[in-house]
């Protein structure tokens, strides 16, 4: 346990440790209701993660650069001011087919898996070949952990797409073809109401019939058309529909 703690606070795992801390704080705020998913929270988390990443990488580069001042082959000139982070995140989510999952969830999975891969990899390397562990290898683990986290994120987050799928209310025209029960004493070309069972309390619809048709309370009717201008449904008595067949 102590070894894992030391590795988590050492480069390169410390980068993901700090980001994981940001993620945990974010989800703590979500749990207590301070932040709500989908209400601008994606931008907030992305901003904090981006700032923490830049700060940690700059500190790591300065530390490693000072520790290898005499090494002429060491070049740690990193571009930390890229303006395409938002586009990169969108491209990653599209490639992994995760556009239906909130960005905050995707970022959280990526950081968590990156941290796990980084810590486990560094633990194996320090045990198997401690002499190989250096700046170049540490940077490789930093990048490799992120790359390996992408397919893991895809596997973990895809099943959540159904949970976050938007629920759209049915359009009024969607009721055409369904049956309803007349709730008024009669239905005419100018008056009438019917109840449509929708799996809940039911919907009350304004219904009309063509002249000459007869419908009374409790009769079943088939919705055959919707008049958007008058917001009424044209219905046919079910007995007439069955007789026609």
Q: What is the pLDDT of residue 36?
A: 63
Q: What is the pLDDT of residue 154?
A: 87
Q: What is the pLDDT of residue 183?
A: 93
Model pTM? 0.55
Alpha helices per DSSP H over the chain: 2-8, 13-32, 41-67, 85-95, 103-128, 135-157, 238-244
Q: What is the pLDDT of residue 180?
A: 94
Rounded CA separation 130/122 (Å): 9
Q: What is the pLDDT of residue 74?
A: 41
- Domain spans of the chain? 2-161, 172-244
Q: What is the dihedral of CA 147, 153, 158, 161, to 10 degrees?
A: -110
Please state which of the four CATH numbers 3.40.50.300, 2.40.50.100, 2.60.40.10, 2.40.50.140 is assigned to the domain occupying 172-244.
2.40.50.140
pLDDT averaged over 10-residue windows placed end to end, the chain, 245 residues: 81 89 88 66 49 50 47 42 55 70 85 93 83 80 91 86 70 88 91 87 89 87 91 90 72
């Amino acid at each position: 346990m102590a070894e894992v703690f030391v590795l988590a606070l050492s480069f390169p795992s410390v980068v993901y440790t700090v980001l994981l801390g940001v993620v945990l704080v974010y989800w703590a705020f979500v749990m207590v209701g301070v932040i709500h998913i989908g209400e601008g929270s994606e931008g907030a988390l992305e901003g904090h993660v981006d700032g923490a990443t830049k700060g940690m990488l700059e500190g790591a580069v300065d530390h490693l650069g000072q520790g290898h001042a005499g090494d002429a082959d060491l070049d740690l000139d990193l571009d930390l001011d890229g303006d395409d982070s938002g586009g990169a995140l969108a491209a990653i989510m599209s490639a992994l087919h995760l556009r239906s999952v909130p960005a905050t969830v995707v970022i959280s999975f990526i950081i968590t898996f990156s941290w796990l891969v980084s810590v486990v990899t560094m633990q194996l390397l320090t045990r198997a070949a401690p002499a190989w562990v250096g700046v170049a290898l540490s940077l490789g683990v930093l990048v490799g952990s992120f790359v390996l986290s992408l397919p893991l994120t895809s596997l973990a987050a895809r099943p959540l797409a159904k949970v976050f799928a938007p629920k759209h209310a049915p359009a009024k025209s969607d009721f055409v073809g369904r049956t309803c029960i007349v709730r008024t004493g009669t239905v005419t070309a100018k008056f009438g109401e019917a109840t449509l069972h929708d799996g809940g309390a039911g919907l009350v619809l304004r219904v009309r019939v063509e002249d000459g048709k007869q419908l009374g309370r409790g009769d079943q009717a088939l919705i055959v058309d919707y008049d958007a201008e008058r917001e009424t449904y044209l219905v046919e008595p079910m007995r007439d529909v069955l007789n026609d067949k």
